[in-house]
Amino acid sequence: MNLGQDIKNKMIAAGFSAGQVAAKAGVSEGTISHWKTGVKASQRTYDKLIEALMTMIAERQEKMKKAGLLQD
């Protein structure tokens, strides 16, 4: 599996849309569409996507903790 596929799988598993991740990463949704279909992105783009996805997951976890749905 390549890095793009791995990011895609994690994005889907977390329930985030391409548009949400693109907006958080500061890239176009077209950029995500390209690598989802096998076109390789730059390492800088992958880094942005990974950081955005990690941030989004952490933010979701924090919201769930505050709502009492997740424990530390």
15 DSSP assignment? T
Whether residue 18 is predicted with pLDDT greater than 80 in this model: the reply is yes
Calculate what percentage of the chain has a pLDDT beyond 90: 56
Overall domain count for the chain: 1
43: CATH: 1.10.260.40
**Is residue 22 situated within a structural domain?**
yes
pLDDT the model gives residue 7: 85
Residue 30 CA to residue 36 CA, distance in Å, equals: 10
Whether residue 21 is predicted with pLDDT greater than 80 in this model: the reply is yes
- DSSP state string for 16-58: --HHHHHHHHT--HHHHHHHHTTPPPPHHHHHHHHHHHHHHHH
Domain coverage including residue 24: 3-66
**pTM, 2 dp:** 0.82
Buried b vs exposed e over 38-49: b needs ≥16 C-beta within 10 Å?
eeebeeebbebb
Mean pLDDT of the chain: 88
The per-residue pLDDT for range 47-64, each reduced to its tens digit, is 999 999 999 999 999 999
Whether residue 1 is predicted with pLDDT greater than 70 in this model: the reply is no
